[in-house]
């Protein structure tokens, strides 16, 4: 039942090594990778199963070597993270989403600042890659993927809070940027049906990258943007 903690999740939270015997060969390899340096390659470490779904869904939903249109591992599930409601999101997934989208950028921004302080020029930029889902100004929000909405909103708050100080003290230009709609995150069966009806995401990866790069290009042209959320190349409401 949605909202009830499952036994696998409870075991992982209470005893991180409780499921060691259940870990796949790929995950075991990740856990021992670079054992001499103590560094775990993120791509391999991502294969370590953490939630119940990771143990239950196998080759039939994530076939080895099969990629989607964006050259990512194909996901054949009928329900994915993009369709989850509040009570459907497992605790480990909630934490992972925040680590990737908010905690890691926070650490990178904080640790980059002392290095960027040493550069005497003003062409120093931090672009936090955000998304429309992190905005508050819209009068309507769906009840889906609240955890990703929260994480992007947190990233936007990092920019709003620290961009002024970064610019005033060290001429660092910090912005948040929406890449635009470059991927369709809906489950594959739905995407296939919509594609057959002629739908596809309006932008591609190049469009998204151009939007992320634009604040830097604008800075080189003498337009200093900081402390703003950029959508389609222009400041937008938070």
CA–CA separation, 106 and 25 (whole Å): 33
* pTM for this prediction: 0.80
58 within domain boundaries = no
Domain count, the chain: 1
In whole angstroms, what is the distance from residue 178 CA to residue 181 CA? 9
Residues in the chain: 238
Q: What confidence score (pLDDT) does residue 122 get?
A: 81
Residue 107 falls inside a structural domain? yes
Task: Render each residue's pLDDT in the chain as its tens digit; 238 residues.
Answer: 445 555 555 555 556 555 555 555 555 555 555 554 555 566 666 767 777 777 776 788 888 889 987 788 899 989 999 999 999 999 999 999 999 999 999 999 999 999 999 998 888 999 999 999 999 998 889 999 999 999 999 999 999 999 999 999 999 999 999 999 999 999 988 988 999 999 989 999 999 999 999 999 999 999 999 999 999 999 999 9
Name the token pair of 202.
Answer: 């309006």
- Residue 173 is predicted with a pLDDT of 97
Q: Which pLDDT value is given to residue 55?
A: 76
Range of the domain at 86: 81-236
Query: Which pLDDT score is estimated for 194?
Result: 93
Asked whether the beta carbons of 172 and 187 are under 8 A apart, the reply is no
Nearest CA to 84 out of 35, 143, 25, 130 is that of: 143
3-state secondary structure 133-157: HHCCCCCCCCCCCHHHHHHHHHHHH
Provide the CATH number for the domain around residue 186: 3.40.50.720
SS3 176: strand
> How many beta carbons lie within 10 A of that of residue 197, not counting itself?
7
Q: What is the pLDDT of residue 3?
A: 52
User: Residue 189 falls within a domain, yes or no?
Assistant: yes
Residue 48's pLDDT is 75
Q: Does residue 65 lie in a domain region?
A: no
Selection from 112, 88, 216 nearest residue 170 by Cα? 112
Asked, for residue 62, whether it belongs to a domain, the answer is no
Using alpha carbons, select from 93, 19, 26 the residue that is nearest to residue 64. Answer: 26
Asked whether residue 183 is assigned to any structural domain, the reply reads yes
pLDDT of residue 30: 54
Tokens of 152: 């992007």
Q: Is 30 part of any domain? A: no
Tell me if 215 is assigned to some domain: yes
Instruction: Give pLDDT, residue 23.
Output: 52
- Residue 182 has a pLDDT of 95
Task: Give burial (CB, 10 Å; 0-12/13-18/19+) of 68.
Answer: middle
């Amino acid at each position: 039942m949605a909202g009830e903690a499952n036994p696998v999740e409870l075991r992982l939270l209470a005893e991180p090594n409780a499921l060691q015997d259940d870990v796949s060969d790929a995950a075991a390899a990740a856990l021992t990778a670079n054992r001499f340096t103590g560094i775990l390659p993120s791509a391999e470490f991502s294969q370590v199963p953490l939630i119940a779904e990771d143990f239950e869904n196998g080759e039939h939903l994530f076939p080895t070597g099969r990629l989607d249109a964006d050259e990512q591992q194909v996901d054949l599930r009928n329900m994915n993270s993009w369709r989850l409601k509040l009570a459907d999101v497992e605790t480990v997934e909630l934490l992972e989403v925040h680590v990737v989208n908010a905690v890691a950028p926070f650490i990178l921004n904080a640790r980059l600042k002392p290095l960027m302080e040493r550069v005497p020029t003003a062409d120093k930029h931090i672009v936090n890659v955000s998304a429309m889902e992190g905005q508050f100004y819209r009068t309507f929000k769906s009840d889906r993927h609240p955890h990703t909405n929260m994480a992007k909103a947190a990233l936007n708050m990092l920019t709003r809070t620290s961009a002024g100080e970064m610019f005033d003290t060290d001429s660092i230009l910090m912005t948040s940027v929406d890449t635009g709609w470059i991927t369709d995150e809906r489950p594959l069966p739905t995407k296939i049906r919509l594609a057959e009806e002629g739908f596809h995401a309006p932008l591609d990866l190049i469009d998204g990258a151009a939007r992320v790069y634009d604040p830097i290009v604008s800075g080189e042209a003498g337009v200093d943007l900081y402390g703003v959320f950029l959508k389609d190349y222009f400041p937008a409401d938070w």
